[in-house]
Amino acid sequence: MARQQGWFALILALAIAAGALLVSFPLQLGLDLRGGSQLTLQVLPAGSIRSVQKEQLEAVKDVLERRINGLGVAESTLQTVGDDQLVLQLPGEQDPSRAAKVLGTTALLEFRAQRPGTEQEMTGLLKLKRQAQAVLNQSQVKAAAIANGQPVPPAVSIKAEELAEALTQLGISVPPGSSETEQLELLLSTVNTKIVALYDPAELTGKDLTSAGRQQQQTGTGWEVTLAFNSEGGKKFAELTKGIAGTSRLLGIVLDGRSISEATVGPEFKPAGISGGAASITGNFTADEARDLEVQLRGGSLPLPVKLIEVRTVGPSLGAENIRSSLIAALSGLALVAVFMVVVYRLPGVVSVLALSLYSLFNLAVYALIPVTLSLPGIAGFILSIGMAVDANVLIFERVKEELRSGNTLIRSIDTGFSLAFSSILDGHVTGLISCAALFALGTGLVKGFAVTLAIGLLLSLFTALTCTRTLLRLLMSYPGLRRSTYFLPAAQLPASAS
């Protein structure tokens, strides 16, 4: 009996610890239960890198983390999943488009000098660029002028034939039925890529940046992004500007392979270049664009490109609805099972209901401890593992009944019941755990959540069925008043000798 009491004390201590854990570490709810956005990004191999390595994935994660922090979203989490994926969770966020935009770009910033002998081609491209930009930006310029109380500038337009000629000249085939705005945007992006082809390879990149900021342009309506270099970057920048100072060649600022700004360097910088390690990008940005660019530059460029492969957004009221319905389902399922057990198994049925309540408590405590983020499939896994836990009890009690029917004493029947049921309980749980391992190793997202909760459930069920149920039952049997076979089995089923 001393051994039973020891076990009982242990179970009691565990129950108290589990309760305390649940109070101090609340359960983490998945986005499908609390509402919010979840974005899954795939890191793509590029250049000489054939497959994504662990360090590269971590490097991408670091950069993205800095960018997200720059966005100022509360309690976001970014986790690596598998070999080449990252999952960003934004609780409460209903519109993930801004996050998607900021995360998706590589933000490789390059400062490049124009190749000698390309001046004429550059002039043509820049003219087209300015024309297209002027038409595209005019609604914005107009709005800003009205807001500042300045006179509205005259409308800018581009002649249809001029546009058509420019497009054919650049070899752009226009999709049928596209609007003027779409054609202009197409033109602009092609021009920006063509300009990049006229530059020398980059000597100075975003790696040498120490900080980025933004301010309103002194002239015009847009915003500019300011940059500060480290000492090496400052040196490189001075070299770069020295080389082209006083010529008509340009200094290009290239972001992700598209030219965002071109600048001339005056002859006064011929001797030493632009020193001081600071520069600014004036690209006619809106306040939001400037902020996003600043965030991206500050976070650094991504070592590898990423692609958005999954976006899930759940409204908060849908989440609340999900919680409510799964709670009702879980509780009513448990209640039905409890009634069934007590009706069919009498006293041991009551014991198993106690053990199963402990089982549920331990389960939730483990979720809080690990921590497991509880999502809908996770809850389903939990509800199912209850089924397995009950099965273990059913197996044991059926065996106990059998032993009683064949005329064994009560205590002996209980002990034999437990030991005979053990092997099939073990086999059932092990095969269940094998399935969980396969699901966890090879499944994704939802499937993993299910596998984790089911596996925790199976392990705990082994413990509760073999320890809690047994200890509680043995403890009750130490009271002579409860030691009656009819508490286990209807009298009619007992052999005459035993009763």
Residues 109-148 that bind other proteins (CB under 8 A): none
Closest CB to other proteins among 262 and 403?
403
Q: Nearest Cα to 404, choosing from 390, 416, 392, 395?
A: 416
Per CB under 8 A, which of residues 297..336 are in contact with other proteins? 307-318, 321-322, 325-326, 328-330, 332-334, 336
Q: Whole-number minimum distance, CB 443 to other proteins, in Å?
A: 5
φ and ψ of 185, to 5 deg? -65, -40
Q: Whole-number minimum distance, CB 295 to other proteins, in Å?
A: 17
Closest CB to other proteins among 146 and 438?
438
- Reply yes or no: is the peptide bond before residue 371 cis, omega within 30 of 0: yes
Residue 407 interacts with other proteins (CB under 8 A)? yes
- In the set 58, 369, 427, 482, which binds other proteins (CB under 8 A)? 427
Closest CB to other proteins among 280 and 322?
322
Residue 40 interacts with other proteins (CB under 8 A)? yes
Residues 6+ apart with CB under 8 A from 61: 78, 80, 86
- In the set 387, 409, 478, 484, which binds other proteins (CB under 8 A)? 387
One character per residue 337-376, x = contact with other proteins (rule: CB under 8 A): x--xx--x-------------------------------x
Q: Whole-number minimum distance, CB 116 to other proteins, in Å?
A: 30
Q: Whole-number minimum distance, CB 481 to other proteins, in Å?
A: 28
In angstroms, what CA-CA distances link 384 with 161, 233, 360, 373?
69, 59, 12, 17
Q: Which residues of 194-233 are buried (b: 16+ CB within 10 A; e: fewer)?
A: bbeebbeebebbbebbeebebeeeeeebbbbbbbbbeeeb
- In the set 406, 419, 486, 493, which binds other proteins (CB under 8 A)? 406
Six-digit token string for 424? 């099939």
Asked whether 206 and 297 are in contact (CB, 8 A), the reply is yes
- In the set 11, 18, 30, 35, which binds other proteins (CB under 8 A)? 35
Question: Left if phi > 0, otherwise alpha if psi is -120 to 50, otherwise beta: which for 436?
Answer: alpha
Q: Whole-number minimum distance, CB 141 to other proteins, in Å?
A: 20
- In the set 346, 428, 463, 475, which binds other proteins (CB under 8 A)? 428
Q: Nearest Cα to 183, choosing from 169, 194, 195, 172?
A: 172
Per CB under 8 A, which of residues 253..272 are in contact with other proteins? 258
Q: Whole-number minimum distance, CB 6 to other proteins, in Å?
A: 30
262-265 contacts at long range (C-beta below 8 A, 24 or more positions apart): 262/122, 262/126, 262/195, 265/241
Per CB under 8 A, which of residues 179..198 are in contact with other proteins? 179, 182, 185, 189
- In the set 223, 418, 450, 488, which binds other proteins (CB under 8 A)? 450
In this chain, which stretch among 114-122, 207-215, 230-238, 435-443 interacts with other proteins, using CB under 8 A?
A: 435-443
In this chain, which stretch among 35-43, 127-135, 219-227, 244-252 interacts with other proteins, using CB under 8 A?
A: 35-43
Q: Whole-number minimum distance, CB 107 to other proteins, in Å?
A: 14
Six-digit token string for 27? 């359960």
CA count, 13 A, side-chain hemisphere, 467: 18
φ and ψ of 260, to 5 deg? -105, -20
φ and ψ of 309, to 5 deg? -110, -15
Residue 170 interacts with other proteins (CB under 8 A)? no
Q: Whole-number minimum distance, CB 125 to other proteins, in Å?
A: 18
The 3 state secondary structure assigned to 435-471 is HHHHHHHHCCHHHHHHHHHHHHHHHHHHHHHHHHHHH
Residue 199 interacts with other proteins (CB under 8 A)? no
Question: Count H helices, E strands: the chain?
Answer: 14, 13
In this chain, which stretch among 108-116, 288-296, 395-403, 472-480 interacts with other proteins, using CB under 8 A?
A: 395-403
Instruction: Give the C-alpha separation, 176 to 92, whole Å.
Output: 41
Per CB under 8 A, which of residues 51..90 are in contact with other proteins? none
Q: Whole-number minimum distance, CB 406 to other proteins, in Å?
A: 4
Asked whether 55 and 401 are in contact (CB, 8 A), the reply is no
Q: Whole-number minimum distance, CB 306 to other proteins, in Å?
A: 12
Residue 288 interacts with other proteins (CB under 8 A)? no
Closest CB to other proteins among 114 and 408?
408
Other CB atoms within a 10 A radius of the CB of residue 6 amount to 11
Residue 220 interacts with other proteins (CB under 8 A)? no
Residue 447 interacts with other proteins (CB under 8 A)? yes
Q: Whole-number minimum distance, CB 100 to other proteins, in Å?
A: 5
Instruction: Give the C-alpha separation, 454 to 433, whole Å.
Output: 8
Q: Angle of helix 160-169 relative to helix 180-197, nearest 10 degrees?
A: 40
Token pair 């029917």: residue: 405
Q: Nearest Cα to 406, choosing from 416, 421, 418?
A: 416
In this chain, which stretch among 136-144, 284-292, 381-389, 474-482 interacts with other proteins, using CB under 8 A?
A: 381-389
Six-digit token string for 407? 């005329």
